[in-house]
């Protein structure tokens, strides 16, 4: 190849590879679902960023949950992942359970007052001072009885002693559920023998402490790379650890065989693996019912997204005009058609991904904002000022809390406003 041919070949290769990486036009109009939702919001909405839950889709997810659950175990709702008292009440009724898993003292206080018939297991060990605040705040009028309806989670002998002191000082009885490490390594007892000392302390202080069961959370079983270990293998190993704790319990304290204990397990990601056989007698899940993006995993394919952020478009512009490179306004879209239009939306920077219209994207050159975020899209994105951009939260537990309430949707029409848990 002579020099001239070499240069031509290099230019051709450069052009070819530039075309290979040139972004596709990802834009599209709303599908009929989001088109109806946008119309409903335009006639009934408040034109501020809103968290929307589609109750028809939620109902389908509750039906899928019933199919996924092992029929011989109870279901416990993970409250932090569905943090609205009304939403929790709705799910309790539809899924026929009064069992909640709670992770935050202010939520515990609210839920014990709002649902005095609830059975509550704490999902993480609370500092003993936070537990004390719960007792101070519990309304005398509430019929919620913590000594039979609330299980505190205890992860060590030291914490058990702190809770014993609390119980002695307040002259109350505390139910103690012990956190066990079934492979996640986020804390809890690691060896079954560690149980002995805790059981002895409980046995010696029966007027203040009652052993109520174990909690072993196991999402790692679907997260370990499958070339390292299959989910089925990880499940078998995790269950063997759980079983070793149950065996040790019955060996050390056989009287518990005759008592009804709470052996809590799972979480949304691992729920289906417990379907046929599980050491647990109740399984917890929350996120799968609204299915944020992080739960788009093979084990949860039977669930559908049911929660969306809707936010109004405030401004619409042609091209993409950026500070200091104004000349590039119409050049950038030549490279990336998804920059043919610029929108600014009400709010932004949520833990969320753009969902509808298709093909919306942020702009790394402009940066992002929680006040008015920039959004680019191609000319196929046919929305205007006062239409809505829809996003899917990547997780529910924190994102829901950023909105004052939830708008419920029935038949693609806004129906109600439900409060979010505060605190």
What is the contact surface with ligand PLP in residues (CB under 6 A)? 78, 81, 101, 123, 217, 267-268, 284-288
**Helices of type H across 179-271:** 195-204, 220-223, 231-252
Closer of 78 and 407 to ligand PLP (Cβ): 78
How many other C-beta atoms are found inside a 10 Å radius of the C-beta of residue 48?
A: 12
Measured CA to CA, the distance from residue 308 to residue 232 in angstroms comes to 32
Structure tokens at 105: 């003292």
Buried b (16+ CB within 10 A) or exposed e, 8-32: eeeeeeeeeeeeeeeeeebbbebee
Q: Least distance to ligand PLP from the beta carbon of 300, Å?
A: 9
Which residue do the tokens 């109004």 mark? 312
Q: Least distance to ligand PLP from the beta carbon of 369, Å?
A: 29
Buried b (16+ CB within 10 A) or exposed e, 71-105: eebbbbbbbbbbbbbbbbebbbebbebebbbbbbb
Measured CA to CA, the distance from residue 225 to residue 253 in angstroms comes to 38
Q: Least distance to ligand PLP from the beta carbon of 13, Å?
A: 48
How buried is 204 (Cβ within 10 angstroms: 0-12 exposed, 13-18 middle, 19+ buried)? exposed
Q: Least distance to ligand PLP from the beta carbon of 271, Å?
A: 8
Closer of 78 and 310 to ligand PLP (Cβ): 78
Q: Least distance to ligand PLP from the beta carbon of 184, Å?
A: 9
Among residues 42, 48, 114, the alpha carbon closest in space to that of 414 is found at: 42
Q: Least distance to ligand PLP from the beta carbon of 402, Å?
A: 17
Are 133 and 274 contacting, i.e. CB atoms less than 8 angstroms apart? no
Q: Least distance to ligand PLP from the beta carbon of 101, Å?
A: 6
How many other C-beta atoms are found inside a 10 Å radius of the C-beta of residue 389?
A: 27
Closer of 265 and 347 to ligand PLP (Cβ): 265
Closer of 282 and 355 to ligand PLP (Cβ): 282
Measured CA to CA, the distance from residue 384 to residue 343 in angstroms comes to 9
Closer of 123 and 347 to ligand PLP (Cβ): 123
Structure tokens at 172: 């109350």
Closer of 78 and 262 to ligand PLP (Cβ): 78
Closer of 29 and 184 to ligand PLP (Cβ): 184
How many other C-beta atoms are found inside a 10 Å radius of the C-beta of residue 301?
A: 10
How many other C-beta atoms are found inside a 10 Å radius of the C-beta of residue 281?
A: 16
Which residue do the tokens 């609210």 mark? 110
Q: Least distance to ligand PLP from the beta carbon of 411, Å?
A: 27
Closer of 59 and 294 to ligand PLP (Cβ): 294
Closer of 238 and 284 to ligand PLP (Cβ): 284
Q: Least distance to ligand PLP from the beta carbon of 99, Å?
A: 12
Q: Least distance to ligand PLP from the beta carbon of 153, Å?
A: 8
Among residues 115, 118, 110, 158, the alpha carbon closest in space to that of 134 is found at: 110
Closer of 26 and 268 to ligand PLP (Cβ): 268
């Amino acid at each position: 190849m002579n020099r001239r041919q070499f240069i031509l070949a290099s230019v051709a290769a450069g052009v070819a590879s530039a075309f290979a990486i040139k972004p596709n036009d990802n834009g599209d109009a709303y599908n009929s679902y989001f088109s109806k939702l946008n119309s409903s919001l335009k006639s009934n909405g408040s034109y501020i960023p809103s968290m929307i839950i589609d109750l028809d889709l939620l109902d389908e997810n509750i039906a899928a949950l019933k199919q996924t659950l092992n029929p011989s175990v109870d279901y416990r709702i993970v409250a932090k992942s569905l943090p609205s008292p009304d939403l929790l009440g709705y799910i309790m009724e539809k899924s026929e359970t009064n069992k909640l898993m709670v992770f935050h003292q202010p939520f515990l206080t609210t839920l014990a007052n709002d649902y005095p018939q609830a059975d509550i297991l704490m999902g993480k060990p609370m500092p003993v001072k936070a537990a004390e605040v719960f007792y101070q705040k519990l309304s005398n009028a509430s019929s919620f009885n913590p000594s039979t309806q609330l299980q505190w989670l205890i992860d060590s002998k030291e914490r058990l002693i702190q809770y014993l002191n609390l119980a002695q000082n307040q002259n109350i009885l505390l139910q103690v559920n012990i956190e066990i490490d079934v492979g996640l390594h986020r804390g809890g007892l690691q060896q079954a023998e560690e149980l002995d000392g805790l059981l002895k302390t409980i046995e010696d202080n029966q007027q203040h402490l009652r052993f109520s069961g174990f909690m072993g959370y196991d999402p790692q079983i679907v997260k370990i790379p499958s070339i390292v270990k299959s989910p089925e293998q990880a499940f078998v190993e995790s269950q063997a650890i759980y079983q070793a704790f149950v065996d040790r319990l019955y060996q050390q304290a056989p009287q518990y065989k005759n008592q009804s204990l709470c052996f809590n397990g799972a979480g949304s990601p691992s729920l289906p693996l417990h379907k046929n056989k599980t050491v647990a007698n109740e399984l917890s899940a929350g996120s799968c019912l609204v299915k944020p993006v992080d739960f788009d995993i093979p084990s949860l394919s039977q669930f559908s997204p049911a929660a969306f952020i809707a936010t109004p478009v405030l401004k619409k512009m042609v091209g993409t005009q950026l500070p200091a490179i104004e000349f590039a306004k119409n050049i950038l879209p030549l490279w990336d058609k998804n920059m043919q239009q610029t929108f600014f939306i009400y709010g932004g920077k949520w833990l969320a991904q753009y969902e509808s219209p298709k093909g919306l994207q942020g702009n790394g050159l402009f940066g992002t904002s929680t006040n008015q975020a920039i959004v680019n899209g191609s000319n196929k994105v046919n929305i205007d000022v006062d239409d809505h951009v829809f996003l899917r939260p990547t997780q529910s537990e924190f994102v829901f809390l950023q909105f004052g309430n939830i708008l419920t949707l029935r038949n693609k029409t806004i129906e109600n406003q439900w409060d979010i848990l505060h605190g």
